[in-house]
Amino acid sequence: MITRNQINQTLQKLYDDSANHLVLLGGSDRSEKESFLKRFCNDKKCFYYRGRHASGREQLSRFMHEVSETYDIKLQKNSYDECLNRIKSGDSSKLVVVIDELPLMQHSDPGFFSSIIKLKKHQLYPGPVLIILTASSLSYMDGEARELPDDGFGYFDEVMVLPDYNFLEVVRALPGSTMIDSLCVYAITGGVPAYMSHWNRRRSVKENIISLILTQHGALFSEAERYIGSELRELSVYETILSCMAGGCEKLNDIYQATGYPRAKISVYLKNLAAFNVIEKVVSFTSGGWENTKKGIYRIRDSFVDFWFRFVYPHQSELYTLSGEEFYEKYIEKELHPYLSRIFERVCSEYIELLSSVGKTTVRVTSMGTWIGKDGTIDIVGADEDRRTVVGICHWGQESADVHVYEQLLADLRLARLSPDAMYFFSGSGFSEDFAALAGSDPSINLIDLEEL
């Protein structure tokens, strides 16, 4: 689990090092990467340029203009080499050069990156530099970036993607909120910074959903479709598939039966959605019980997209004919609490990762997943490099978790052929007295309620 603080620390370490360094930082248009970089550069000498949709000539002209304005100089050679030769920190400190939206720079002039390589090699500005190139397109990060000219990808010292906020960061951003409310915010926004910035913590969850999502002029009213359309085309196909998935279709054959699209076509569109991090293919955690394991299933990974297609997309006619409050009460209010079970699993996984990172688990977790059986599921399986494991069960319901939850886990462990060092039981509604007594007599059993999370 990589956090924004860890990325900031990595950048600071590269800045403090005497050598020149080159970084590629990805972050979607919802990540507010510009604000993140602004804070990083706040106490440093920095040159920032934002790439734009432009011809090669226009892009270079804009770049030269901003270099000239920043350093009060005249440029004559009409080249990126000259521009990057004239930038400076003005003293012995390292200069941070931020080029925002590398794809736009590269598309307007394929030779731009060659100048960046020269800058890193001290062949232009002679002083120390930290060069940060960014990309909002996540598909660019896994595709075109790896095909930069002159084996350019190999020049990057770090390639990182700015993550969304995790649950702990969401809780910190919502002081005074209950844990249930924080879970609701996390389930809806997914910790996406741009969405969190719109959330009014002085209002209730219901009021925020109505004002932001269910009102035509709300900041997030059309956001799900806008976001999908920012990198994908043929929205009618993608939204049909996402609607099926939000309605419970998890297998390719289920989607085929629901949509009538050819299986080969569905596979291509699922692959595109996965590349954009909208969905994910969940493959059962590797263990010895192959004969008891299901094949991979598909789930919507993006929390806001999942919320939209689960609650809003099927009822769009009434979205325009009912008031926001009427829509909420009819389609969301009664289903919101059960809906939180998925995000509760994510939060529990983050909890185990956090415990492991500070050495408070018996196993130093290096990989984590879910065991998906034909007749049962183990929500969390974490393993170290020696295949020692810890497991977790996430109980989300109105009744307290009791010993039957423990007994079911033991049955599933036999099917999965796992012998964990520790078992973590998470519950949103507490634990029965007999389960608490059992845990008190068995140090391998750990009970964590909602407040401890």
DSSP string, 62-127: HHHHHHHHHHT----S-SHHHHHHH---SSSSPEEEEEE-HHHHHHH-TTHHHHHHHHHTTSSS-S
Q: Which domain holds residue 311?
A: 203-334
The answer to whether 103 and 123 have CB atoms below 8 angstroms apart is no
In a shared domain, residues 227 and 302: yes
User: Hey, is 215 helix, strand or coil?
Assistant: coil
Q: Structural domain tally of the chain?
A: 3
The answer to whether 86 and 75 have CB atoms below 8 angstroms apart is yes
The answer to whether 74 and 68 have CB atoms below 8 angstroms apart is yes
How far apart CA 302 and CA 323 sit, in angstroms, is: 27
Model pTM score: 0.91
Instruction: Write the CATH number for 264.
Output: 1.10.10.10
HSE-up (13 A, CA, CB side) for residue 128: 14
Predicted local confidence at residue 33, as pLDDT: 96
Predicted local confidence at residue 289, as pLDDT: 67
Instruction: Write the CATH number for 356.
Output: 3.40.1350.10
**CA 112 to centroid of chain Cα atoms:** 29
- The region that residue 133 occupies, defined by phi over 0 for left and psi between -120 and 50 for alpha, beta otherwise, is beta
- Quick one: tokens of 43? 């106490």
Predicted local confidence at residue 398, as pLDDT: 84
In a shared domain, residues 213 and 238: yes
In a shared domain, residues 15 and 150: yes
In a shared domain, residues 251 and 376: no
How far apart CA 242 and CA 240 sit, in angstroms, is: 6
Residue type, 180: I
What does each C-alpha distance from 404 to 34, 290, 381, 434 come to in angstroms? 50, 25, 19, 10
Residue type, 153: F
In a shared domain, residues 147 and 211: no
**Residue 198 placed within a domain:** no
Q: Do strands 377-383 and 389-395 pair parallel, antiparallel, or not at all (unpaired)? A: antiparallel
Residue type, 310: R
**Residue 196 placed within a domain:** no
**Residue 369 placed within a domain:** yes
From the list 367, 369, 387, 373, the residue with the least C-alpha distance to 289 is 373
In a shared domain, residues 20 and 153: yes
Each of the 453 residues of the chain gets a pLDDT tens digit; together they read 688 999 999 999 999 999 999 999 999 999 999 999 999 999 999 999 999 999 999 999 999 999 999 999 999 899 999 999 999 999 999 999 999 999 999 999 999 999 999 999 999 999 999 999 999 988 788 788 888 877 888 999 999 999 999 999 999 999 999 999 999 999 999 999 999 999 999 999 999 999 999 999 999 999 999 999 988 999 999 999 999 999 999 999 999 999 999 999 999 999 999 988 999 999 988 877 678 788 889 999 999 999 999 999 999 999 999 999 999 999 999 999 999 999 999 999 999 999 999 999 989 999 999 999 988 899 999 999 999 999 999 999 889 999 999 999 999 999 999 999 999 999 999 999 999 999 999 999 999 998 887
**Residue 73 placed within a domain:** yes
The answer to whether 133 and 104 have CB atoms below 8 angstroms apart is no
How far apart CA 243 and CA 226 sit, in angstroms, is: 16
How far apart CA 264 and CA 41 sit, in angstroms, is: 47
What does each C-alpha distance from 81 to 14, 110, 121, 122, 348 come to in angstroms? 23, 14, 12, 12, 50
Instruction: Write the CATH number for 152.
Output: 3.40.50.300
Q: In terms of DSSP H, where are the helices of 230-262?
A: 235-246, 252-259
In a shared domain, residues 285 and 271: yes
From the list 298, 303, 212, the residue with the least C-alpha distance to 255 is 298
From the list 395, 190, 219, 181, the residue with the least C-alpha distance to 300 is 190
**Residue 178 placed within a domain:** no
- Which of 105, 131, 161 finishes a domain? 161
How far apart CA 238 and CA 228 sit, in angstroms, is: 8
**CA 134 to centroid of chain Cα atoms:** 16
Radius of gyration of the chain (CA): 25
- Quick one: tokens of 234? 């043929």
Question: Running DSSP on this structure, what letter comes out for residue 19?
Answer: S
In a shared domain, residues 239 and 344: no
The answer to whether 308 and 212 have CB atoms below 8 angstroms apart is no
Residue type, 307: F
* Angle at alpha carbon of residue 85, lines to 84 and 91, rounded to 5°: 100
**Residue 406 placed within a domain:** yes
In a shared domain, residues 133 and 281: no
- Which of 334, 353, 380 finishes a domain? 334
The answer to whether 416 and 289 have CB atoms below 8 angstroms apart is yes
In a shared domain, residues 28 and 98: yes
How far apart CA 156 and CA 23 sit, in angstroms, is: 5
- Quick one: tokens of 89? 């920190």
Q: Do strands 279-282 and 45-50 pair parallel, antiparallel, or not at all (unpaired)? A: unpaired
**CA 52 to centroid of chain Cα atoms:** 25
Predicted local confidence at residue 163, as pLDDT: 94
**CA 292 to centroid of chain Cα atoms:** 31
- Quick one: tokens of 245? 């998935």
**Residue 170 placed within a domain:** no
In a shared domain, residues 328 and 350: no
- Which of 274, 300, 334 finishes a domain? 334
**Residue 182 placed within a domain:** no
In a shared domain, residues 324 and 356: no
Q: Which residues contact 364 (CB under 8 A, 6 or more apart)?
A: 356, 384, 385
Which run of H or of E encompasses 24? strand 21-26
